[in-house]
Amino acid sequence: MQILKSKKKIAVVALSGGLDSCVTAAIANEDYELALLHANYNQLTEKKELESFNRIAEYYNVKHKLVVDLSHIAAIGGSSLTDKSIPVKKADLHSKEIPNSYVPFRNANILSVCTGWAEVLNASAIFIGAVFEDSSGYPDCRPEFFKAFQQVIKLGTKPDFNADIITPVINLSKAEIVKKGIELNAPLKFTWSCYTNEDEACGVCDSCALRLRGFQIAGVEDPIAYKIKPNYSGY
Amino acid sequence: MQILKSKKKIAVVALSGGLDSCVTAAIANEDYELALLHANYNQLTEKKELESFNRIAEYYNVKHKLVVDLSHIAAIGGSSLTDKSIPVKKADLHSKEIPNSYVPFRNANILSVCTGWAEVLNASAIFIGAVFEDSSGYPDCRPEFFKAFQQVIKLGTKPDFNADIITPVINLSKAEIVKKGIELNAPLKFTWSCYTNEDEACGVCDSCALRLRGFQIAGVEDPIAYKIKPNYSGY
């Protein structure tokens, strides 16, 4: 008797190329066929991020791959990640303020692109690696934001289409994300998180600090190169 | 005594260059300083639409003007407006089906850009000329869709920011939109609605048919040139 292998459902995964989105792709890969989407918005480290995206896509041998140009996000500005006249601040892991690296409404822009693509691919899910608990406090990383966007998808697409927004790492700490990535053999060595550098990670921006603290608390060596590697585990 | 003129609040207006968005800009112009946004998504008639946008922006003498490239929408495809292999159907004003000119999740993509810009400009409102009643039945033109998106703006932006989504023509008929435009001196002669042509409007696509019927019912001559001008007023 021939056993027919059921065709896997498709998930669109927003993959910046950083740690969180790579582990998110690894989680999606357990149950779905991956459709990987990368947004270029003229961020400072876009070249390196795109390289990470392509390596991760190659690692998972994906058929559906889409790189989109959202450079209007940089034209609109208002963030240190897209406007060179605003310096990227050194990390302050105790601050309650929204840091200047916040990119206005970035996740809604990215989710809108994901949804349009999901509708055309007839995908069942949209994965996004937003982190809320152990993060910089961006408003578009809140669970309530994604819940509200789910409603927009339900109402703004064809009646016979729906895709669940899945945020599998939203409430994990960075250390838990690192451990999850290792458990699933995610290619963490290809990921890039630094906001400012493309050769060696700076080690001192918000994103480096959160990442390094995660690896340090998890007791795992971060496989990428750093210019300096402060110990953040006590912060 | 010197009377200080209060500084007008800013409204971001999504302006395709068509009839509905032009009248929407005219309405916004009554109470706000206009910030006009045009999205190029490699639609068939983009060149003409951009020309319309620029002429309308000039007419209103706007300071804030932004043209964004959303050509990923065409790369994603799934619509006769962006994929030349899908023919634009002739109008069927009685059909209840979503026509193939539907561009997946276009309005969410456009609203996301508007919101990011509104946040940077600290605008108070976002105007979009969606029409629901007298339209082609696109899901992202439903009032519920905009209500849901309002919630996304509230939750996905900085706590001290909010902008109201205003859809002033959503429940108007095309004839009422024409009359409103004339009442407000909107530059209707600069608008472009045809889905397929850039020299003379075709007169037979969905968008031409809805527009012509509006002018015909309003009893007003449409100021733009048509290849053919069927009488739709009895439909």
User: Which percentage of chain B shows pLDDT scores above 90?
Assistant: 74
Q: In this structure, is the dihedral angle defined by the CA atoms of residues B52, A41, B111 and B204, taken in order, positive or negative? A: positive
Question: Are B140 and A156 a contacting pair at CB < 8 A?
Answer: yes
Q: Where are the alpha helices (DSSP H) in chain A?
A: 19-31, 46-59, 72-76, 106-121, 143-156, 174-183, 206-218
- B77-100: per-residue pLDDT in tens? 888 877 777 777 777 777 777 888
Distance from CA of B22 to the nearest CA of A (A): 22
Q: Please report residues of A whose CB lies closer than 8 A to that of B139.
A: 155-159
- Whether A213 has its CB under 8 Å from any CB of chain B: the answer is no
Q: Is the CB of residue B223 less than 8 Å from the CB of residue B185? A: no
Question: Are B148 and A152 a contacting pair at CB < 8 A?
Answer: yes
3-state SS string for chain B: CCCCCCCCCEEEEECCCCHHHHHHHHHHHHHCEEEEEEEECCCCCHHHHHHHHHHHHHHCCCCEEEEEECCHHHHHCCCCCCCCCCCCCECCCCCCCCCCCCCCCHHHHHHHHHHHHHHHHCCCEEEECCCCCCCCCCHHHCHHHHHHHHHHHHHHCCCCCCCEEECCCCCCCHHHHHHHHHHCCCCHHHCCCCCCCCCCECCCEHHHHHHHHHHHHHCCCCCCCECCCCCCCCC
Q: For B98, which of A70, A109, A158 is closest by C-beta distance? A: A158
Residue A151 CA to residue A193 CA, distance in Å, equals 30
Report chain A (235 residues): mean pLDDT per 10 consecutive residues: 69 97 98 96 89 98 95 84 78 78 89 96 97 81 95 94 97 96 98 94 93 96 96 84
Asked whether residue B5 carries a pLDDT value surpassing 60, the answer given is: no
Q: Please report residues of A whose CB lies closer than 8 A to that of B69.
A: 69, 71-72
Question: Are B108 and A155 a contacting pair at CB < 8 A?
Answer: no
CA distances from A80 to A51, A89, B169, B186 (A): 22, 8, 38, 39
Could you tell me which residues come within 8 angstroms of residue A229 by beta carbon, excluding any fewer than 6 positions away? A203, A212, A222
- B15-56: per-residue pLDDT in tens? 999 999 999 999 999 999 999 999 998 888 899 999 999 999
Question: Are B66 and A76 a contacting pair at CB < 8 A?
Answer: yes
Q: Is the CB of residue B80 less than 8 Å from the CB of residue B88? A: yes
Could you tell me which residues come within 8 angstroms of residue A109 by beta carbon, excluding any fewer than 6 positions away? A39, A41, A70, A73, B109, B112, B113, B116
The dihedrals phi and psi of A12, each to the nearest 5 degrees, come to -80, 130
- Whether A68 has its CB under 8 Å from any CB of chain B: the answer is yes
Mutation target for B interface from A43, A86, A105, A122: give the one with most B CBs within 10 A: A105
- Whether A41 has its CB under 8 Å from any CB of chain B: the answer is no
ipTM given for this complex: 0.88
Q: Please report residues of B whose CB lies closer than 8 A to that of A155.
A: 139, 142, 144-145, 148
pLDDT of residue A74: 82
Asked whether residue B175 carries a pLDDT value surpassing 60, the answer given is: yes
Question: Are A142 and B152 a contacting pair at CB < 8 A?
Answer: no
Distance from CA of B91 to the nearest CA of A (A): 20
- Whether A119 has its CB under 8 Å from any CB of chain B: the answer is yes
Map tokens 């601050």 to a residue. Answer: A95
Map tokens 């600090």 to a residue. Answer: A209
Question: Are B116 and A145 a contacting pair at CB < 8 A?
Answer: no
- Band (pLDDT 50/70/90 cuts) for residue B74 is confident
- Whether B156 has its CB under 8 Å from any CB of chain A: the answer is yes
- Band (pLDDT 50/70/90 cuts) for residue B3 is low
CA distances from B48 to B39, B45, B124, B192 (A): 13, 6, 30, 7
| Nearest residue in A to B98, CA atom | A158
Distance from CA of A136 to the nearest CA of B (A): 13
Mutation target for B interface from A10, A41, A72: give the one with most B CBs within 10 A: A72
